[in-house]
Structure 1
Amino acid sequence: MSHPSSLPPPDFELASAFPEAAWLRQAAAAPDWAAIRQYADTLPHGTDRSFAVRVLSEVPGSEGWLREVVAAAPDDVLALTVLGAREVHIGWDIRTSARAQQVSREQFAGLHAHLRQAEQLLIRATALDPSHDAAWVERLTTAMGLQLGQNEARRRYDRLARHHPHHFSGQRRLLQQLCPKWSGSWEAAHDFARACLLGAPEGALNGCLVAEVHMERWLDLRGQEREEYLRQGHVRAELVEAAERSALHPGFHRGYGWVSAQGYFAALFSLMGDTARAAVCFRRLGNLASEYPWRYLGDPSDAYTRHRDTALARG
């Protein structure tokens, strides 16, 4: 095994793990809607289409030509969904990821204006195709941003789960809504994460939700409370169980989101001092990384490198 100091720096480029992301960006920049449409139509059944929608929605300026596509084809569910996702992205860029108390009234107004536009597009998309997973995932985000409440978020998730019972992206969106920062509760968030873990096949990504909710709770604490939280026996037991059913399972599925899922367990096991399990996660990652969870721990590249080197040196 290479000595940790000889390892390459972490690679945060999404296309390194999923090369199709680079093609999608190029097609959106061109723009070539016909090629994007053909690509989407040939995706295998069960593919998490919210991945492609998210990549397309992040291309700067794409809202201009997407509006033209929707105007010309108002019943194109994919176009409605991508434009809706783009409006969500623009709105969230205005708001930023800061805590609510640090966001200005003007920023909230900008967010809500774009989310309301997105809602109209996405409502039409889900009316035309109630099984369209990416549209429901985006509607979970608009429900959160527009503060439509826990019941409405659950209703939207239930509509998604009716067609896609273990939809990882959708579950991640609802988990955020269930946390106290969005007027939820830790009990609801933990219960949902555990239900997702146990409901999904072993080796699926869904076990990562257990790690995500523990990371969210850890972040909500300060100083010594953080260390004490991760030392609790039940926290360790829950994380080990979830990892063994997902990220550390021999049949772990490297679908969309797997890098982030593996990263959450690598980060938490590192913070707990379980370098043996952290090392396994890092070896499976190679040098692949996602912005989160590492941004929670400081500069993402520095945090990843520091914890990886420690884990591989000891574990």
Structure 2
Amino acid sequence: MSFASGSALPPPDFEVASVFPEAAWLRQAAAARDWASIRQYVDGLPREVSRSFAVGVLDAVPGIEGWMREILAATPDDVLALTVLGAREVVIGWEIRTSASAKDVSREQFAGLHAHLRQAEQRLIRATALDPSSDAAWAERLTTAKGLELGQNEARRRYDRLAAHHPHHFNGQGRLLQQLCPKWGGSWEAAHGFARECLLNSPEGAVNGAMVAEVHMEHRLALRGQERDAYLRQAHVHAELAEAAERSVLHPHFRRDYGWVIAQSAFAAMFSLVGDLARAAACFRALGPFASKYPWSYLGDPAAAFVKHRDAALAKG
């Protein structure tokens, strides 16, 4: 399929429910306070399906924390309610902190973040004690470990507990990858090494290879000016991206599991930046109108960045 430059294509659709309609149902059930139906749905998911998706939809519902406290007052051992409340506390804490660089975050903002993360930790520790296989609770504990600055060893311990039950947990891998980057006390050697582990240890056609694209995006972002361009011109960067994409998002057996839009977006962005417009175009075609704000938010306004790079790739690739 070929596209003319400047052809009228739809704007990116960032709505997760457009890709996974169950997100809309979960929101409706939360609005109706239908906990029984939510529990039945989540408990009925196959073991290999990430519960982090459902928790991520629910923890974005404003005010759900009050309802979860009511449920836990009646049933203190409800692992899902503990996890949703813990995740919601994480969301509230990070909203207080904002996504600004640490130097631009006030002491009061950090205090607010840490207060909510400590509340989250209490809930999530109980959740993982009651159910050590709870993928969503362990994934959230990776974020609390990062925000509370518990260190690399503790973060890796938590990831290992998650991976013991869910070895290819895309959401959890993305959270540990952040921790392994220098901005959170890690190193590029550790971050790139982990991304490669995720690629090689996962089945071909799985989303996990996108960790390679994500770590290169993070590495580029940490550089400035001409250093960014020089980084992207390195032959090994292109080679690693191509290898990872061919094993994951461009593989004939690529599966549209939770996270597939982020995976395709990460590769579309990186191939665009390194000038491999043929592979970028393949990723954009697979995406169609769908997009995730990450990683496009790293390149400016997410919608504008998506359209700019999509149009360039499809015109030439």
Q: TM class, shorter-chain normalised?
A: over 0.9
User: d(CA) in 1 for partners of 2:95 and 2:7?
Assistant: 36
Which one of the candidate residues 249, 252, 255 is aligned to 1:250? Answer: 252
Which one of the candidate residues 119, 131, 136 is aligned to 1:129? Answer: 131
DSSP 3-state at the match of 2:7: helix
User: d(CA) in 2 for partners of 1:139 and 1:311?
Assistant: 38
Equivalence for 1:14: 16
User: What is the letter of the counterpart of residue 43 of structure 2?
Assistant: D
Q: How does 1:142-181 map to 2 (within 5 A)?
A: 142-181=144-183
Per-residue displacement from partner, 1:105-132 (whole Å, max 9, x unpaired)? 1010000000000000000000000001
Per-residue displacement from partner, 1:250-299 (whole Å, max 9, x unpaired)? 11111111101100100111111111000000000001000011111111
Which one of the candidate residues 80, 83, 86 is aligned to 2:82? Answer: 80
Q: How does 1:208-247 map to 2 (within 5 A)?
A: 208-247=210-249
User: d(CA) in 2 for partners of 1:227 and 1:48?
Assistant: 36
Deviation of residue 44 (structure 1)? 1.4
Deviation of residue 27 (structure 1)? 1.2
Equivalence for 2:264: 262
User: d(CA) in 2 for partners of 1:298 and 1:99?
Assistant: 16
What is the percentage of aligned positions where both structures have the same residue?
77
User: d(CA) in 2 for partners of 1:78 and 1:313?
Assistant: 47
User: d(CA) in 2 for partners of 1:221 and 1:132?
Assistant: 37
Q: Is 2:295 aligned against 1:293?
A: yes
User: d(CA) in 2 for partners of 1:277 and 1:167?
Assistant: 25
User: d(CA) in 2 for partners of 1:132 and 1:89?
Assistant: 19
User: d(CA) in 1 for partners of 2:77 and 2:30?
Assistant: 20
Deviation of residue 194 (structure 1)? 0.3
User: d(CA) in 1 for partners of 2:137 and 2:60?
Assistant: 16
User: What is the letter of the counterpart of residue 307 of structure 2?
Assistant: T
User: d(CA) in 2 for partners of 1:173 and 1:21?
Assistant: 21
Gaps of 5+ in 1: none
Q: Is 2:20 aligned against 1:28?
A: no
User: What is the letter of the counterpart of residue 55 of structure 1?
Assistant: V
Per-residue displacement from partner, 1:113-158 (whole Å, max 9, x unpaired)? 0000000000000000000100000000000000000010011011
DSSP 3-state at the match of 1:237: helix
Matched residue count: 315
User: d(CA) in 2 for partners of 1:306 and 1:137?
Assistant: 33
Deviation of residue 89 (structure 1)? 0.6
User: d(CA) in 2 for partners of 1:128 and 1:300?
Assistant: 39
User: d(CA) in 1 for partners of 2:251 and 2:244?
Assistant: 9
Equivalence for 2:205: 203
DSSP 3-state at the match of 2:256: coil
User: d(CA) in 2 for partners of 1:167 and 1:63?
Assistant: 25
Structure 1 segments of 4 or more deviating over 3 A? 1-4
Q: Is 2:102 aligned against 1:97?
A: no
- CA root-mean-square deviation: 0.8
User: d(CA) in 1 for partners of 2:282 and 2:119?
Assistant: 44
